[in-house]
Amino acid sequence: MTPATRRIAHESLRGKIDAPAFTEGEARQISVPLVDLLAAPQGARDRQLVMGESFTVVDHDHHFAFGFATKDGYCGWLPTTALEPALPQTHWLAFPASHLYPEPRVQARVIDVLTMGARLTVIGEQGPWLETTKGFIWGAHLRPLGNWMADPVAVAERFLGTPYLWGGNSRAGIDCSGLVQISQLACGRRCPGDSDLQQSIGTEVEGPLQRGDLLFWKGHVAMAMDERRMIHATGAFMSTVIEDIEVAIDRIAAAGHPLAARRRP
């Protein structure tokens, strides 16, 4: 969460840290359907970003750029080929996944697969199809920016069966904090990217759990569906699943991790 390298830091850190130089950064956006945000150039995946998400570039290292995602301030490296100039966007993908086509025809060869949260610029309409600067997409899968969903749990349920992927943020693979973040963002709520950061949002739950409450363990988060059930992406099953809350609490505690917090976003 610190937008700085050994060479340069973002202007927001001026007066807070010592750095050889400071920069306002370069406004860019993700140009590919999905890209890993890396801990270092060619390093391990920390999170993922999807097409159209805003990214501020702070530094460069050969074919990699360092910066942070506008949605949550998460810092990391990604290939410069995954970036393009920032452009005004009009819609977001409100469906777990959808296809881009070169023409408004279901038999056409698919250009690419997008995941929920992708942001696009709509430039035209042909029947039930919307034309974007990236290609055609089924119009019912898009919503105008600002037209958010209402229930994060209902969003999470759309990802049932999605395979578990450490640092994943897409229908192709998602982890516990990625599921919570994508569900909150789809409802127009700000949300950090990692479970330890997510534990700081909202208020502590004193009484019975309600739909949408978050349960935290060391390194893990789940979302309550009601007082009895929860939904989470978990390496225990390598999938996004629904589990009985008390059963999960006992199972995870037996592995050495007692329930740490219950929060209401």
Q: What are 154-182's pLDDT values in tens digits?
A: 999 999 999 999 999 999 999 999 999 99
Topology of domain 91-144, per CATH? SH3 type barrels. (2.30.30)
Residue 145, by phi and psi: left (phi above 0), alpha (psi -120 to 50) or beta? Answer: beta
Sequence spans of domains, the chain: 9-85, 91-144, 152-264
Structure confidence at residue 121 (pLDDT): 98
pLDDT tens figures, 54-79 = 999 999 999 999 999 999 999 999 99
Mean pLDDT of all residues in 138-154: 98
In the beta sheet, which residues pair with residue 99?
A: 113
Q: Is the Cβ–Cβ distance between 8 and 21 less than 8 Å?
A: yes
Mean pLDDT of all residues in 202-219? 97
- The predicted pLDDT at position 30 comes to 98
Note the pLDDT of residue 214.
Answer: 98
**Mean pLDDT of the region 216-239:** 98
Q: Which residue, among 227, 211, 194, 204, has the nearest Cα to 151 in the 3D structure? A: 211
CB contact set of 173 (below 8 Å; sequence gap of 6+): 162, 163, 164, 165
Task: Dihedral sign for Cα 152, 153, 159, 165, please.
Answer: positive
User: Which residue, among 212, 232, 234, 233, has the nearest Cα to 224 in the 3D structure?
Assistant: 212
Residue 118 pLDDT level (bands cut at 50, 70, 90): very high
Confidence band, pLDDT 50/70/90 cuts, at residue 130:
very high
Query: Which pLDDT score is estimated for 87?
Result: 92
Does this model's pTM top 0.85? yes
Neighbouring CB atoms inside 10 A of 176's CB total 25
Q: What is the pLDDT of residues 3-13, one digit of tens each?
A: 999 999 999 99
According to CATH, what is the number of the domain 9-85? 2.30.30.40
CA atoms within 13 A on the CB side of 133: 15
- Hey, do 9-85 and 152-264 end up sharing a CATH topology, with the first three levels equal? no
Span 104-132, mean pLDDT? 98
CB 192 within 8 A of CB 265: no
Cα–Cα distance, 69 to 35 (Å, whole number): 12
44-54 mean pLDDT: 98
- Measured CA to CA, the distance from residue 187 to residue 51 in angstroms comes to 18
Q: Which CATH class is domain 152-264?
A: alpha beta
Decide if 19 contacts 102 (C-beta within 8 A).
Answer: no
**For all residues of the chain together, what is the average pLDDT?**
97
